[in-house]
């Protein structure tokens, strides 16, 4: 089945995939009940976990996420694959006493960091993983402690100090004239910590290795035992610049697990806030790209517009970043007719100002000199890494959940998706500019289509239920998994931020560039440290 792609129709696609697995003796059984709908769940023997990944990679599926779950005396592992907007969840079980699995990383490069995350926090050993170094824990706990196991207290362990993480083995390039440059984890300004280790000759970068995990917050552990409202508040803080996206995904998972129908008015308001979050972040980042190459004009003007935008958020929605505005079963805020008219007027004003500013950015020789061909991410590399969002769309990867697996209310609207193959900083900035205009048009349509009715239905959490939430945030696809225990409280929560898939692109796109171009390359992808570190 080399090179085969499955039909767009989900049932035909699923039957073809099942047939291919049965032919290769991988499938144990497929569940007739699908607890993670709209995804399909396949039960896989642990010994065939790697073979299933091999089959999926050969068929051209995209690897999207993996996580583990401690249930009874077993560890349950799940991995999410996607093709043409259809999701499949592979599920397997390993005994707690011998948690060993084949790795997906030899087949999907995107699995590398998430498998190491699972290794560190749950104690699963991936036998053929190419890199067994710690990823997320650093030196906070001994090798024998795994915080996501039930025996580990959510309060953690008290110790006088955490040993320095001084023995991490960065890869080195040997040769005459090769120098090593260490950047971070502490940076200038207020950005979060991350370490970048360069190998360079003169100013030309030969290789970059990224080291993350410094802002590990214990999100997955402290989620356990929460009720739905408390989980939504926690999800809102996974990554502060993507609070709407993460909260919506977590609420969507809770609502699917509990069969809660969200009112149509609330769904429109959620989408309106998600698009406002998209606009705010794109405006800020486009300006920051200009700042990183000395074009302060763009930074000043777009920061000004972003500030006006966020002040309007505070005025009409009650929070500059829209935090805690999405809640289980609906939204915590409503708009009256005067607010709707005001937002329409804001959109007209912003379009008028951006027409001038974006025209300057799109055709300015000094910017072109710094942005064109800089930080080139080849479409093949983007596809191999499974990259999503605007970074993927600048490198030929057109996946967008709002169009390809539409969830309400996006299923009511046409969603244009900008797509370029240039793969450089300029292309990533161009995608962002396009997405701002698209978001403004979408929001006008949503305001016009805003129905009457209530803004929240009561969510009654179900016992022993699970749900999957999938939302297209401003940064790209978010996948959130929620399992509710017999007490109807959260037993497991895993939020997969798109940054897990975006960060590895930095190591690809920076090679061959000069060291002074690192800041603009980094800003052009703007992956989240906090969203990754959990």
Question: Helix/strand/coil (H, E, C) string of 191-244?
Answer: CCCCEEEEEEECCEEEEEEEECCCCCCCHHHHCCCCCHHHHHHHHCCCCHHHHH
The whole-number pLDDT of residue 10 equals 39
**Are 228 and 83 contained in the same domain?**
no
Assigned domain for 288 exists: yes
Residue among 394, 396, 417 nearest 405 (CA): 417
Strands 125-126, 100-101: pairing is parallel
CA angle 406, 411, 413 (to 5 degrees): 125
- Please give, one letter per residue, the 3-state secondary structure of 329-365: CEECCCCCHHHHHHHHHHHHHHHHHHHHHHHHHHCCH
Q: Could you write out the DSSP letters of every residue in 224-237?
A: TT--HHHHHHHHTT
pLDDT for 7: 39
What are the φ and ψ backbone dihedral angles of 63, each rounded to 5 degrees?
A: -85, 130
What pLDDT does 163 receive? 78
The CA–CA distances, whole Å, from 524 to 201, 238, 510 equal 24, 21, 11
Query: Is residue 396 included in any domain, yes or no?
Result: yes
Q: Rounded CA gap, 359 and 301, in Å?
A: 13
Is the pLDDT at 19 greater than 70? The verdict is: no
Q: Rounded to 5 degrees, what are φ and ψ at 391? A: -65, -45
Backbone phi, then psi, for 494, in 5-degree steps? -135, 115
Burial class (CB in 10 A: 0-12, 13-18, 19+), 143: exposed
Cβ atoms of 102 and 116 within 8 Å: the answer is: no
β-sheet bridge partners, residue 456 = 330
Contact present, 351 and 440 (Cβ < 8 Å): yes
Q: Is residue 204 part of a domain?
A: no
Percent of the chain with pLDDT over 90: 77
Contact 237, 531 (CB under 8 A): no
Residue 437, domain member (yes or no): yes
What average pLDDT does this structure show over 381-397? 96
Helices (runs of H) and strands (runs of E) counted in the chain: 17, 15
Domain boundary among 86, 103, 126: 126
For residues 9-33, average pLDDT: 49
Res. 314 pLDDT band, cuts 50 70 90: very high
C-alpha–C-alpha distance, residues 210 and 455, integer Å: 43
Decide if pLDDT at 345 tops 90: yes
Last residue in a domain, options 70, 101, 126? 126
**In terms of C-beta density within 10 A (0-12 exposed, 13-18 middle, 19 or more buried), how is residue 525 classed?**
buried
Please indicate, yes or no, whether residues 257 and 391 belong to a single structural domain of this protein.
Answer: yes
Of residues 415, 429, 376, 422, the one with CA closest to residue 396: 422
422 found inside a domain: yes
In this structure, the answer to whether residues 119 and 229 fall within a common structural domain is: no
Of 126, 148, 163, which residue sits at a domain end? 126
Tell me what the mean pLDDT of segment 257-268 comes to.
97
User: What pLDDT sits at residue 23?
Assistant: 56
Asked if residues 451 and 268 have their Cβ atoms less than 8 Å apart, the reply is yes
Task: Cite the DSSP H helix spans in 29-138.
Answer: 49-58, 111-122
Preceding amide of 518 cis, omega within 30: no
Say what the pLDDT of residue 2 is. 34
Confidence of residue 32 (pLDDT cuts 50, 70, 90): very low
Tell whether the model's pLDDT for residue 189 goes beyond 90: no
Supply the CATH number for residue 109's domain.
3.30.460.80
Measured between alpha carbons, how far is 357 from 282 in angstroms, rounded to an integer? 14
- 223/119 same-domain check: no
* Phi, psi of 404, deg, nearest 5: -90, -25
Question: 312: domain CATH number?
Answer: 1.10.645.10
- What range defines the domain where residue 380 resides? 219-451+466-528
363 burial (CB, 10 Å; 0-12 / 13-18 / 19+) is: exposed
> Does one domain contain both 108 and 226?
no
Whether 269 and 415 share a structural domain: yes
Confidence of residue 6 (pLDDT cuts 50, 70, 90): very low
Tell whether 114 and 240 lie within a shared domain.
no
pLDDT value for 192? 87
Q: Report the distance separating Cα 116 and Cα 140, nearest Å.
A: 15
pLDDT, the chain, mean: 91
Total-model pTM:
0.93
Asked if 414 and 452 count as a contact pair (C-beta separation under 8 A), the reply is no
Q: Give me the mean pLDDT over the 18-41 stretch.
A: 61
Per-residue model confidence (pLDDT) at position 48: 87
Q: Within a 10 A sphere around the Cβ of 422, how many other Cβ atoms?
A: 18
How big is the chain, counted in residues? 534
In a domain, 342, yes or no: yes
User: Is 41 part of any domain?
Assistant: yes
Residue 365 lies in a domain: yes
Query: For residue 12, what pLDDT band results from cuts at 50, 70 and 90?
Result: very low
Q: Give the closest residue to 40 by CA, choosing from 97, 93, 82, 71.
A: 82
Give helix 499-509 / helix 518-525 axis angle, nearest 10°.
Answer: 150
Domain count, the chain: 2
Mark whether 264 and 382 lie in a shared domain.
yes
Does an H or E element contain 485, and which?
A: none
Residues 229 and 82 in one domain: no
> Are both 359 and 248 inside the same structural domain?
yes
> Dihedral sign, CA of 496, 498, 503, 504?
positive
Check whether 317 has a pLDDT greater than 80.
yes
Name beta bridge partners: 68: 77
Whether residues 491 and 345 fall in one domain: yes
pLDDT surpassing 80 at residue 431: yes
Furthest C-alpha separation in the chain: 71
Of 281 and 13, which is predicted with more confidence?
281
30-34, 39-43, 93-97, 175-179: least confident range: 30-34
DSSP, collapsed to helix, strand or coil, labels residue 182 as: strand
User: Does residue 187 surpass a pLDDT of 90?
Assistant: no
Same domain, 82 and 225: no
């Amino acid at each position: 089945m080399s090179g085969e792609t499955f039909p767009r129709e989900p049932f035909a696609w699923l039957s073809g995939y099942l047939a291919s697995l049965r032919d290769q003796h991988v499938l144990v059984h497929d569940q007739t009940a699908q607890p993670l709908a709209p995804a399909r769940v396949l039960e896989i023997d642990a010994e065939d976990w790697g073979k299933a990944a091999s089959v999926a990679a050969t068929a051209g599926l995209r690897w999207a996420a993996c996580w583990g779950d401690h249930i009874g005396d077993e560890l349950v592992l799940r991995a999410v694959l996607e093709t043409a907007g259809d999701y499949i969840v592979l599920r397997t079980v390993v005994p707690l006493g011998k948690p060993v699995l084949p790795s997906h990383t030899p087949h999907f490069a995107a699995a590398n960091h998430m498998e190491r995350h699972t290794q560190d926090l749950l104690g699963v050993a991936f036998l053929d993983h190419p890199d067994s170094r710690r990823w997320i824990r650093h030196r906070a706990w001994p090798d024998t402690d795994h915080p996501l196991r039930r025996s580990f207290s959510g309060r953690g362990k008290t110790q006088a100090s955490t040993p320095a993480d001084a023995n991490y083995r960065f890869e080195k390039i040997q040769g005459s004239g090769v120098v090593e440059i260490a950047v971070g984890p502490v940076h200038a300004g207020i950005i979060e910590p991350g370490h970048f280790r360069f190998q360079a000759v003169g100013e030309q970068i030969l290789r970059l290795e990224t080291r993350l995990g410094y802002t590990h917050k214990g999100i997955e552990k402290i989620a356990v035992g929460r009720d739905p409202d408390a989980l939504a508040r926690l999800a809102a803080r996974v990554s502060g610049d993507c609070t709407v996206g993460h909260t919506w995904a977590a609420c969507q998972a809770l609502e699917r697990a509990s069969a809660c129908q969200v009112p149509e008015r609330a769904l429109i308001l959620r989408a309106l806030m998600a698009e406002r979050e998209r606009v705010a972040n794109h405006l800020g980042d486009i300006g920051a790209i200009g700042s990183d190459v000395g074009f302060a004009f763009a930074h000043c003007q777009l920061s000004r517009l972003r500030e006006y935008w966020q002040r309007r958020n505070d005025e009409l929605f009650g929070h500059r970043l829209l935090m805690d505005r999405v809640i289980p079963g609906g939204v915590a805020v409503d708009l009256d007719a005067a607010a709707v008219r005001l937002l329409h007027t804001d959109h007209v004003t912003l379009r008028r100002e951006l027409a001038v500013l974006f025209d300057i950015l799109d055709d300015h020789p000094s910017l072109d000199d710094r942005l064109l061909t800089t930080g080139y991410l080849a479409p093949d590399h983007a596809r191999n890494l499974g990259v999503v969002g605007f970074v993927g769309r600048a490198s030929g990867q057109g996946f967008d959940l709002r169009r390809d697996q539409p969830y309400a209310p996006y299923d009511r609207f046409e969603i244009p998706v900008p797509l370029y193959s240039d793969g450089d900083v300029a292309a990533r900035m161009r995608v962002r500019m396009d997405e701002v205009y698209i978001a403004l048009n979408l929001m006008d349509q949503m305001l016009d289509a805003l129905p009457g009715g209530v803004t929240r239905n009561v969510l009654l959490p179900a016992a022993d239920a699970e749900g999957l939430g999938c939302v297209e945030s401003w940064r790209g696809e978010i996948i959130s998994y929620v399992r509710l225990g017999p007490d109807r409280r959260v037993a497991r929560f895993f939020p997969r931020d798109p940054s897990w898939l975006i960060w590895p692109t930095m190591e690809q796109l920076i090679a061959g560039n000069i060291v002074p171009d690192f800041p603009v390359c980094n800003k052009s992808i703007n992956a989240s440290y906090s969203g990754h570190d959990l």
